[in-house]
Structure 1
Amino acid sequence: MFTVYILRSTKDGSLYVGYTTDLAQRVQTHNKGSVQSTKSKRPWKCFFAESYIAQEDALRREKYFKTTQGKNAVKHMLRETLKLSYS
Structure 2
Amino acid sequence: MPHFVYIIQSALDASFYAGSSHNPVVRCQRHNEGWTKSTKAKRPWKLVWIKEFPTKAEALAFERYIKRMKSREFIERLIRNAGGRPDGP
Q: TM-score, normalised by structure 2?
A: 0.80
Match in the other structure for 1:85: none
Structure 1 residues 1-87: aligned runs within 5 Å:
1-68=2-69, 72-78=73-79
2:37 alignment partner, SS class: coil
- For structure 1, list consecutive stretches of 5 or more residues without a partner in the other structure: 81-87
Would you say how many aligned residue pairs link Structure 1 and Structure 2? Answer: 80
Q: Could you list the runs of 4 or more consecutive aligned residues of structure 1 that deviate by over 6 angstroms after TM superposition?
A: none
Separation (CA, whole Å) in 1 of partners of 2:65 and 2:71: 5
- For structure 2, list consecutive stretches of 5 or more residues without a partner in the other structure: 82-89
Q: TM-score, normalised by structure 1?
A: 0.81
Shift of residue 35, structure 1, vs aligned partner: 0.6
The CA RMSD over aligned residues, in Å, is: 1.9
Separation (CA, whole Å) in 1 of partners of 2:9 and 2:30: 14
Shift of residue 77, structure 1, vs aligned partner: 3.2
Could you tell me whether the CA contact under 8 Å between 1:64 and 1:70 is conserved in 2? Answer: no
